[in-house]
Amino acid sequence: MKYLKQFLIILVISFIGEVLKALLPLPVPASIYGMVILFVCLVTGVIRLDAVKETGRFLIEIMPVMFIPAGVGLMSSWGVLRPMLLPVGVVTVVVLVAVMAVTGRVSQAVIRKKDAK
């Protein structure tokens, strides 16, 4: 019953993200709205971490399975993607390096701030 309650909390927040996506004219995916809402609720204490921790861990464990449909979609669209392979590859590598650099800098800043305290 505990897992059902935790999953229901996550589903309700995801549904609120879907509603916001439908109401707001911004080009933001509903999943981002849901993650931001969940983050704010966790930080402010509206939702305790214990209220979603086990289900969150389970969802993270099965996350690789969720990429299978995207991979199949890429394989079925290979004819369309083949002419654009070089530009898409370059953009992917540039974005990957940028994300790694920013993540590293942010992590270093957080560690420095933590050590300063």
Task: Flag whether 97 is in a domain.
Answer: no
Task: Flag whether 107 is in a domain.
Answer: no
pLDDT digits (tens, 9 = 90+) for 19-29: 999 999 899 99
How many folded domains does the chain comprise?
A: 1
Task: Flag whether 30 is in a domain.
Answer: yes
- Tell me which residue of 46, 16, 40 sits closest to 30, measured CA to CA: 16
Model-level pTM? 0.65
Beta-carbon contacts of residue 35 (< 8 Å; ≥ 6 apart): 17
Q: Which residues of 65-80 are buried (b: 16+ CB within 10 A; e: fewer)?
A: eeeeeeeeeeeeeeee
pLDDT digits (tens, 9 = 90+) for 88-115: 899 999 999 999 999 999 999 999 998 8
Task: Flag whether 96 is in a domain.
Answer: no
DSSP assignment letter at 67: T
Confidence of residue 81 (pLDDT cuts 50, 70, 90): confident
Task: Flag whether 73 is in a domain.
Answer: no
Structural domain span for residue 30: 2-66
